[in-house]
């Protein structure tokens, strides 16, 4: 089984820099993005810049068509990786819904829920799927949340994002305790 890094939200911005760092190190990378066209474009750019790289992009949205967290998509993603004999031993959770344009007094509750589901529940589903495989293969591994300094300081009109990043830190700490016995490290990086 080939070990690889899985990086979410890796078609733009910070995600690109994370993918490129792992590719420079010569590690196989699987990355995700929400839209198929964006994933294909990003994969072509990575292959052009790193012709010898082992890189594969997969389009997967955090929500299914009915507005719920896409748990079935996570299951399909990891089943596909299993069939290709790819074991994710490093998971970098970069994808996020920034909750832009929300005001707490005027936005519907569904906007808040969407951000929390993407930034907390979706990441939980990915962590559980990866950690189960790390545990079962007895390889250990690493899970890293790309969090935000807003986990500790609020910014105006971003209540869902701020709450979700605080929730991520709590989840990260609990996972570190629960997964540590399987030699799985769980950490967070707080840019800003």
Tokens of 48: 């052009």
Which of 178, 164, 56, 175 shows the shortest CA–CA distance to 126? 175
Give Cβ neighbours of residue 130 (< 8 Å, ≥ 6 apart): 6, 78, 88, 91, 141, 143
Between the alpha carbon of residue 151 and those of residues 107, 117, 158, 159, the distances in Å are: 21, 16, 11, 11
Please pick, among 46, 152, 161, 182, the residue that the annotation labels catalytic.
161
Tokens of 39: 């994933």
Tokens of 7: 């990086």
- Residue pair 134/182 in contact by the 8 Å Cβ criterion: yes
- Residue pair 14/37 in contact by the 8 Å Cβ criterion: no
Give all strands (DSSP E) within 8-54, no chain letters. 29-33
Tokens of 189: 């990086």
Residue 182 a catalytic site member: no
What residues form DSSP beta bridges with 56? 30
Active-site residues, by number, are: 161
């Amino acid at each position: 089984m080939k070990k690889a890094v899985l990086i979410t939200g890796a078609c733009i911005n910070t995600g690109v820099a994370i993918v490129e760092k792992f590719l420079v190190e010569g590690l196989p990378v699987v990355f995700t993005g929400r839209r198929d066209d964006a994933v294909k474009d990003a994969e072509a750019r990575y292959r052009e810049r790193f012709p010898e790289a082992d890189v594969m992009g997969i389009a997967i949205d955090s929500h299914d068509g009915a507005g719920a967290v896409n748990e079935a998509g996570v299951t399909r993603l990891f089943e596909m990786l299993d069939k290709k004999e790819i074991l994710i031993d490093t998971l970098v959770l970069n994808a996020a819904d920034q909750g832009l344009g929300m005001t707490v007094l005027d936005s519907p509750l569904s906007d808040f829920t969407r951000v929390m589901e993407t930034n907390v529940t979706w990441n939980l589903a990915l962590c559980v799927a990866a950690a189960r495989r790390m545990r079962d293969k007895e390889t250990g591994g690493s899970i890293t949340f790309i969090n935000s300094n807003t986990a500790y300081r609020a910014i105006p009109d971003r209540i869902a994002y701020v709450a979700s990043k605080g929730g991520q830190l709590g989840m990260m700490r609990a996972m570190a305790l629960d997964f540590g016995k399987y030699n799985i490290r769980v950490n967070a990086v707080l840019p800003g």
